[in-house]
């Protein structure tokens, strides 16, 4: 890539907030928007009237909420602070969200989170959402950069690795399960390797067949449904989404011990095989690629959010697999509500941004962590097996 202070994914570079046109404006969600001490001091100096919008408690300053659980600055679907004082006056998180900036030693990578409906639209239905573009580095104030140990990798090497994983995620002739299995297998050869040796291992394993096939295991499906159920407990999830999943699940007896395991009802499995796959596979694969760009995968982060995603590369890969396959179950569970079992684009956007908002804005659940450890151990075992 050309020399640049920043590299951006096209969907992040092209994002622009649609404000009052957004179907789920983040200013209406009742989010706790923290305000830095520096921002409060700036208000005191230049715009003391804005202090009326701020509340404080033992944890610091935050934007106040009105009786409808909306940000006090929201007027007519737009932020009055932004309208009257400009973007420079916004709290840092408001100036940044849904954008995300990841600092490396010599450059910054710009991505975004699909917990924003407009970002989800750009990712899921844009022409070239994952195209890498040269960009300008953000301002140091409130740039949303993830504080992290600065990984020493040059932009071209980083881009080659990211392109490989994004292209693997979007491979048309592989199922979602095959994509996940292949990613797990490729990553199993990277744990502990220096970055300069990654591409050699990636190309070697990328052309081989993964031994991991999670779709053949009823126990994994049962655990994924538990993970999905726990993610959907978030307050931002409407009850209709929870009910659709509950109605799509049955309990089956498996194995000689007749273990009671949850699974999708047969009619949803038929849907998965005949009607929904073609429509949903692309959306789910784009979700995988978007998660790769959002998290910085496979370059793991040591931030609190990064550690919540996992403490090692194998755990990060397991989390990516779990959240992808849980999302697949969520989408399939809603297919019978639509004509010909085909989810329309706007419904796919709604389900995915709500799912991302619940999964990304809350700590990993106990069920997810338990399954993560299980799959992570199997990823490492696949490396040991192939090395013998």
Mean pLDDT of the residues in the chain: 89
Is the separation of the CB atoms in 224 and 326 below 8 Å?
A: yes
Taking only the tens place, the pLDDT of each residue in 218-248 is 899 999 999 999 999 999 999 999 999 999 9
Average the pLDDT over 129-158 and give the result. 75
Encoded tokens for 142: 């409130």
109 pLDDT more than 90? yes
**What H or E segment, with its residue span, contains residue 205?**
helix 198-206
Choose among 190, 179, 163: nearest CA to 214: 179
Taking only the tens place, the pLDDT of each residue in 261-280 is 999 998 887 655 555 567 78
Q: What is the pLDDT of residue 278?
A: 72
Residue 99 in 3-state DSSP?
Answer: strand
Residue, of 140 and 246, whose pLDDT is higher: 246
Choose among 168, 381, 147, 141: nearest CA to 289: 168
Q: What is the pLDDT of residue 13?
A: 96
Choose among 290, 265, 272: nearest CA to 341: 272
The residue to which tokens 């940044």 are assigned: 96
Encoded tokens for 324: 């992808």
388 pLDDT more than 70? no
Share of the chain above pLDDT 90, in %: 67
β pairing state of 259-264 and 249-254 = antiparallel
pTM: 0.91
319 half-sphere exposure, CB direction, 13 A CA radius: 25
Encoded tokens for 88: 């420079």
Q: What is the pLDDT of residue 140?
A: 45
How far, in Å, CA of 225 to CA of 230, rounded?
9
Residue 68 in 3-state DSSP?
Answer: coil
380 CB neighbour count, 10 Å cutoff:
18
Choose among 281, 277, 327, 295: nearest CA to 187: 295
Residues 6+ apart with CB under 8 A from 20: 76, 77, 78
How far, in Å, CA of 334 to CA of 347, rounded?
9
Q: What is the pLDDT of residue 276?
A: 53
| Number of continuous H segments (helices) and E segments (strands) in the chain | 16, 12
Choose among 116, 76, 80: nearest CA to 96: 116
Encoded tokens for 326: 């849980």
Q: Which of 22-36, 121-135, 156-170, 351-365 has the lowest mean pLDDT?
A: 22-36
**Domain residue spans of the chain:** 26-92, 214-387
Residues 6+ apart with CB under 8 A from 351: 241, 330, 331, 334, 343
Share of the chain above pLDDT 70, in %: 92
63 pLDDT more than 90? yes
């Amino acid at each position: 890539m050309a020399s640049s202070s920043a590299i951006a994914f096209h969907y992040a570079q092209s994002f622009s907030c649609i404000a009052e046109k957004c179907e789920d404006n983040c200013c209406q969600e009742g989010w706790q928007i923290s305000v830095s001490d520096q921002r409060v001091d700036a208000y005191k100096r230049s715009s003391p009237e804005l202090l009326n919008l701020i509340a404080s408690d033992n944890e610091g300053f935050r934007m106040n909420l009105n009786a409808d659980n909306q940000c006090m600055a929201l007027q007519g679907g737009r932020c009055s602070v932004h309208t009257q004082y400009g973007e420079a006056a916004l709290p840092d998180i408001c100036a940044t969200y849904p954008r995300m900036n990841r600092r490396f030693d010599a450059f910054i990578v710009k991505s975004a989170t699909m917990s924003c409906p407009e970002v989800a639209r750009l990712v899921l239905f844009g022409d070239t959402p994952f195209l890498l573009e040269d960009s300008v580095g953000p301002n140091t104030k409130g740039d949303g950069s993830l504080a992290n140990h600065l990984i020493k990798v040059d932009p071209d090497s980083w881009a080659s690795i990211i392109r490989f994983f994004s292209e693997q995620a979007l491979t048309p002739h592989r199922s979602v399960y095959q994509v996940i299995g292949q990613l797990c297998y490729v990553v199993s050869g990277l744990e502990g390797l220096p970055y300069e040796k990654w591409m050699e291992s990636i190309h070697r394993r990328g052309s081989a067949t993964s031994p991991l096939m999670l779709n053949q295991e009823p126990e994994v499906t049962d655990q994924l449904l538990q993970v999905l159920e726990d993610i959907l407990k978030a307050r931002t999830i409407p009850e209709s989404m929870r009910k659709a999943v509950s109605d799509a699940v049955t309990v089956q007896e498996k194995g000689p011990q007749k273990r009671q395991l949850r699974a999708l009802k047969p009619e949803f499995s038929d849907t998965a095989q005949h009607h929904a796959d073609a429509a949903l596979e692309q959306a789910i694969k784009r979700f995988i690629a978007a998660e790769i760009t959002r998290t910085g995968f496979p370059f793991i982060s040591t931030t609190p959010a990064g550690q919540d995603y996992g403490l090692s590369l194998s755990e990060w890969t397991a989390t990516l697999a779990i959240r992808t396959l849980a999302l697949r179950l969520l989408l399939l569970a809603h297919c019978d509500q639509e004509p010909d079992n085909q989810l329309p684009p706007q419904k796919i956007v709604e389900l995915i941004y709500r799912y991302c908002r619940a999964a990304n804005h809350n700590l990993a659940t106990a069920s997810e962590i338990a399954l993560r450890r299980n799959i992570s151990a199997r990823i490492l075992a696949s490396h040991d097996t192939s090395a013998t």
